[in-house]
Homo-oligomer: A and B are copies of this chain.
């Protein structure tokens, strides 16, 4: 599907098709990463070793997509010499796929934790990750949706949602700390759950990065290191 933001602007229909193809690949990569993250969490909660192994095995697909899209971006810059918003799109894509690839790594590391042996009691701790994990998957889904439509309003909404993930994460950490203090022998295993919680919290940060790239593409403004209030102002003004 060609969206109106890229349609009809280029004399070269071929250039248009190339840009659109890259964009489609980014969305496919995003879809795969979302699947990997959801599957890794499912593997953790259901203690499904087969699913965990598949996530680990499939991480290389995410990596290959990153490398291929990066190559396509460099090729299109060299060949088509894009300027203005076309160039911003390519730059936004180069940055977005870096974050997507790292979210893929998070899925892989959660899948590795899913392969660990937990006692029944420790297993209960994994439940505390469930809400946090589902929240992160939803946030990723929404930012990919915002990316597909290059919708800055949707991007801003996702951006602001990260606060909630941060609060959920802190609650999980407090709970895990209490557990460690009560049963010090559990510390090594509980730490693994804690690393996973932290990785999931980082997925939220990476989704925020992607929001910034969407705003950069659409508004031509680099909003990194800008407060959420300032970002809102920028979106209102333009």
Taking beta carbons and an 8 Å cutoff, which residues of A are in contact with B? Answer: 60, 63-64, 66-67, 70-71, 74, 77-78, 81-84, 87-88, 91, 94-95, 98, 177, 180-182, 184-185, 187-188, 191, 194-195, 198, 222, 224-225
Count copies of this chain in the complex. Answer: 2
Q: Give, as a whole number of angstroms, the nearest-CB distance from A224 to chain B.
A: 6
User: Cβ of A67 and Cβ of B224 under 8 Å apart?
Assistant: yes
Chain B residue with the shortest CB-CB distance to A64: B225
| A70-B225 CB under 8 A given contacts A181-B185, A188-B177 | no
Closest to A178 in B: B187
Docked-complex contact A225 and B63, CB < 8 angstroms: yes
CA distance A67 to B91 in the complex (A): 13
One of B83, B185, B188, B225 near A67 (C-beta < 8 A): B225
A195 to B180, CA, bound (A): 16
CA distance A77 to B224 in the complex (A): 21
- Listed by A's residue number, 9 A-B pairs whose Cβ atoms lie within 8 Å are A60-B225, A74-B87, A74-B91, A78-B83, A177-B187, A177-B191, A181-B184, A181-B187, A195-B198
Contact of A71 among B70, B98, B177, B222 (CB under 8 A): B222
A195 to B191, CA, bound (A): 11
CA distance A177 to B187 in the complex (A): 7
- A39–chain B nearest beta-carbon distance, Å: 20
* Assembled-state Cα–Cα distance A94/B92 (Å): 11
Q: Cβ of A185: which chain B residues have Cβ within 8 Å of it?
A: 181
When distances are taken between beta carbons in the complex, the residues of chain B under 8 Å from A182 are 184
Instruction: Compute how far the CA of A187 lies from the CA of B31 in the bound complex, rounded to whole angstroms.
Output: 39
Contact A78 B74 (CB under 8 A): no
CA A237 – CA B41 in complex, angstroms?
Answer: 42
Residue from B60, B81, B180, B224 within 8 A of A180 (CB atoms): B180
Q: How far is the CB of A26 from chain B (nearest CB, A)?
A: 17
Which residues on B sit within 8 Å (CB–CB) of A222? Answer: 67, 70-71
